[in-house]
A and B are shown apart, each in its own frame.
Chain A
Amino acid sequence: MKASLNLRNLVAALLVAGLLLLPVYSAATGNIFLLTLFTRIVILALAAASLNLIMGYGGMMSFGHAAYLGIGGYAVGILAQEGIGSGFAQFAVALAVSALYALVIGALSLRTRGVYFIMITLAFAQMAYYVASGLSRYGGDDGLTIYKRSNFGSLINLSNRVQFYYLCLACLLAMIFLIWRIVNSRFGMVVQGLRSNEQRMQAIGFPAKRYRLACFVIAGTMCGLAGALLANNTDFVSPAVMYWTRSGDLMVMVILGGMGTLFGPAIGAVVYLVLEELLSRVTEYWALIMGPLLLLIVLFGRGGIMGLLGRVKRG
């Protein structure tokens, strides 16, 4: 993939520059809320980017991606509760458990396709939600407060707002870079080939399910990282992180930004969450506007924001 100067890349570059400079602006104006808001946005952008890997490039319409947010979060929360404060241990467990969950769920769900796949991933995520609600030792329905953020020793202090923001942003950019490398690798080509024409790929001799499953696990692990960060951001984790509307939100971000584009999900996350924030200031009933807006985006906005930018370029 050659980087050329077009509108899409320009917008992506502006986004990255804006996100990098945001703490400077927030410090200069004393607007701490902006930094808090964008920390959350960056974390959810990471989750959306991981969903885009399977949905946009792999053609696997997972409606249960928020489960990993919860799993990553609970890994941090439960370990913190049990007195293991080391961030290295917490994040390692968060990633490992997310990968394991993705492996099991993926192995089962990938037996099906299409609508079945959408419904099954949704149902399994809902199962994770109910399991978390049933963990009475760790707060059950009410959730679990995390009294101390993950401790990375002298490496980085997560309780410092700016340091934490840059950690999240670094994770986001690193994962987008990783996705870029994956998508353009042989492995990524096979996965995209499977999306376009599975029969043909199988005829050439690629084991479809194994490739898909590997891709599914990679995306799940990435989202588990987002979950661990999110729990540190809110100092709290509850079953609500995994509620199915959250999975829907993530899907909306990906579609809004542009499915199957590298920076689309991040742009979608910024636009969706900023829009939500602005609308909720105008009216308490913001979803009354957001709902029909989604319908209109689906009906008329093919390809999301990135698709729109691409069309502008062509004139």
Chain B
Amino acid sequence: MLLVVEQILNGFQLGLLLFLLAAGLTLVFGIMDLVNLAHGSLYMMGAYFAATFVAWTGSFVLGAVMALGATLLLGIVLELVALRHLYGRDHLDHVLATFGLILFFNEAVRLIWGPAGLALPLPSWLSVPVQILPGIPYPAYRLAIIVVALAVALLLYLGVMRTRIGMLIRAGASNREMIGALGINIKLLYTLVFGLGAALAGLAGLMQAPILTVQIGMGENILILAFVVIVIGGIGSIRGAFVAAILIGLIDTLGRAFLPDLLRQVLSSSSASTAAPALSSMLIYLLMAMVLVVRPEGLFPAARR
């Protein structure tokens, strides 16, 4: 029982992190029609910034806030220098150019921080377990991730649905030329949206940093999970990204935790322990395949064009 609750919460937490990444990706794609593989690099940079600033200031919260600002800034610079020139180009061009950016970021990190990973230690007030239900302790930090990510998701929803900027963002997603014709500064809007996406990726990276080691290439595996999320949720749909992210987070975590035991009841113990790791890492892709068969456009296709 304890294990089940814990794993469900872990899955939920992974799902929320995936949502932060996928939301940025899907916003950037929905509005600028840009496929950004380097989104995972921004996640990695968020983690590296956090590890650096926390060590520098000695305060976890202050360091995290500074890292968030730094990632936002990096995103804006990246948009101004490179990605701005890719709008309106072929998707293949996006893929290649941002693939080049990944190479660049990975190598730059290796040059600046060295090839070995960094650790981001937790402050003591976050590293104690909390009793979420009587008799069920859960790490405070993981709980904090869930709370922060949920709050950000809510803010994002309110921001996109209820504010003027959000209105412009939605308008930009449905008809780019029209809002330009109405006198909106599209370039500025694009830069803002990209910065927002970068900040969301950075937030996911810096929150994940204390749980995993901060290392080169950490953004790449999770980026592919974020792609799966977007494909399942429907490209350009934030709601779809949320549902799919939670689904993927739960299935992946629960699959890895419980599939070996389940298989052991059906198969012999040795073949179960051989098959389980391969099978549990396949689960989410199988889900993606199933969704594709039933709904090629994803679960919540955004109404485009």
Contact = CB atoms under 8 A, between A and B. Distances in A.
Is A bound to B?
A: yes
Contact of A252 (B96, B104, B288): B96
Contacts of A63: 95
B187 interface: no
Contacts of A123: 224, 227-228, 231, 285, 288
Contact of B95 (A61, A120, A133, A288): A61
Secondary structure of the B contact surface, majority rule: helix
Contact of A285 (B95, B111, B235, B285): B111
Interface string A274-300: 000000000001111011111101110
A10 interface: no
Interface residues of A, number: 44
Nearest to B96: A298
A114 B298 CA distance: 14
Nearest to B285: A127
A285 to B, nearest CB: 5
Interface in A98-136: 108-109, 111-112, 114-116, 118-120, 122-124, 126-127, 130-131, 133-136
Contacts of A68: none
B164 interface: no
A171 B104 CA distance: 34
A136 B275 CA distance: 9
Contact of B97 (A120, A126, A288, A294): A294
B288 A285 contact: no
A290 B29 CA distance: 25
Interface residues of B, number: 44
Given A111-B292, A114-B91, A135-B278, A288 B100 contact: no
A227 to B, nearest CB: 19
B107 A295 contact: no
B99 A136 contact: no
A287 B97 contact: no
Nearest to B221: A126
Contacts of B97: 294-295, 298-299
Nearest to B91: A115
A252 to B, nearest CB: 6
A108 B292 CA distance: 7
Interface in B263-305: 273-274, 277-279, 281-282, 285, 288-289, 292-293, 296
B282 A131 contact: yes
B110 interface: yes
A255 interface: yes
B231 A290 contact: no
Nearest to B98: A295
Contacts of B92: 55, 61, 118, 251, 255
6 contacts: A115-B29, A116-B231, A245-B99, A245-B220, A291-B100, A298-B97
Interface of A: 55, 61, 63, 108-109, 111-112, 114-116, 118-120, 122-124, 126-127, 130-131, 133-137, 244-245, 248, 251-252, 255, 285-288, 290-295, 297-299
